[in-house]
Amino acid sequence: MENVRLIVDSSANTLSDPDRNLEVVPLTLTFGEENLLDDENLNISDFLTKMEVNQEAGKTAAPSIQRWLDALDGAEQAIIVTITSGMSGTYSSALQARDIYLESHPLAKIIVVDSRSAGPELELIIEGIEEMLQDPKLRFADLESKIAEYRTKTSLLFLLQSLRNLSLNGRVSPAVAKLAGLLKINLIGTASVDGDLKPLTKARGMKKALKELVKQMEENKYQGGRVIIDECENLADAEKLKELILEKYPDAKITIRPMRGLCSFYAERGGLMVAFANA
Ligand code: X90
């Protein structure tokens, strides 16, 4: 199927790419008076330093409806994939934009997918959709259920060394926020069915934490397919994790990418997010 525009928010850690017909809509990051757009112009390592020296907590905001409308402009068929509605207003602003767009473009077809996840799992979902679109016989009307089915095969795990920004911004429950006070935490967690942060376990030391991630992948029925590891200033551990996965699954297809602004803000320095697909 041709001419389907793919639109994703910047939590997917990806950049707009005309060759993929892919548009990325930025969230906003705020420190004091300063608003930064999470787009290709953002210097992530400056931004991380700014975040660390900043005394007051930063904030983030979902894309405005207008930004979604700009991304939809002129599209006859589009699929929007957003960060989890369980932790952000991004999905809701995309739904509102769709309704407004359809008023002026009544024949347009737009699907909005709530990923119930963040980061690399959004990229996996987009890749899955790109594969579906290769089928010339596929009808747009069948896409929504196909995407829902594909989503049952993708998962997200993450490793966080700090929960500071998540708890200061009220994005985790008070019980989870309590963990943030612990020093040198290596929290391993996953996206819950509702798309909230779900802690699974804590690990002492990075070596154990990486082993634990692989163990959790196995428990989540990983069998050696596609993996995307997103890292926040932690390429070294991302590469170690890749090696550990390849030791057990030599055919695994693994990509490592740097996080963009939104995920860097919440996962913080050292954080890893791992998305994988089951056979
Ligand atoms: O301002 C906004 O609307 C954006 C709020 C986003 C909050 C969550 C970002 C999470 C990023 C942290 C670890 C992964 C947890 C994912 C659970 C679904 C990364």
Distance, in Å, from the CA atom of 111 to the CA atom of 13, rounded to the nearest integer, reads 21
- From residue 151, how far is each of 33, 51, 86, 234 by CA, in Å? 39, 33, 16, 27
pLDDT surpassing 70 at residue 102: yes
* Nearest atom within ligand 1 for CA of residue 265: 11
pTM over 0.95: yes
- Average pLDDT of the residues in 252-273: 97
Give residue 183's pLDDT: 66
Please give the average per-residue pLDDT across 105-119, as a whole number: 98
Are the C-beta atoms of residues 167 and 142 closer than 8 Å to each other?
Answer: no
The best mutation among 262, 265, 269, 272 to test binding of ligand 1, ranked by most ligand atoms within 8 Å of the C-beta, falls on 262
Residue 228 carries which DSSP code? E
What pLDDT does 127 receive? 97
DSSP type of residue 12:
G
Question: Taking the CB of residue 43, how many other CB atoms lie within 10 A of it?
Answer: 11
Per-residue pLDDT tens digits for 19-51 = 999 999 999 999 888 899 999 999 999 989 888
| Other residues' Cβ atoms within 10 Å of the Cβ of residue 279 | 8
**More confidently predicted of 99 and 179:** 99
Indicate whether 253 pLDDT > 90: yes
* pLDDT confidence tier of residue 112, bands split at 50, 70 and 90: very high
Query: pLDDT by residue (tens digit) across 127-160?
Result: 999 999 999 999 999 999 999 999 999 999 999 9
Residue 182 clears pLDDT 80, i.e. is over it: no
Q: 20 CA to middle of ligand 1, Å? A: 25
Q: CA 155, CA 121: separation in Å to the nearest integer?
A: 7
CA angle in degrees (0–180, nearest 5) for 190-156-227: 145
Q: Is 118 in the pocket of ligand 1 (CB under 6 A)?
A: yes
State if residue 14 touches ligand 1 by the CB under 6 angstroms criterion: no
- Does the beta carbon of 62 lie inside 6 Å of ligand 1? yes
pLDDT band at 53; cut points 50, 70, 90: confident
Rounded to the nearest 5 degrees, what angle is found at the Cα of 260, between the Cα atoms of 147 and 218? 55
Residue count (the chain) = 279
Q: Do residues 258 and 38 lie in contact, with contact meaning Cβ atoms separated by under 8 Å?
A: no
Q: Is the pLDDT of residue 54 over 80?
A: no
Residues 6+ apart with CB under 8 A from 58: 29, 30, 31, 51, 165, 265
Any alpha helices (H) in the chain, and if so which ranges?
44-53, 65-72, 90-104, 120-133, 140-151, 164-168, 174-179, 206-219, 235-248, 261-267
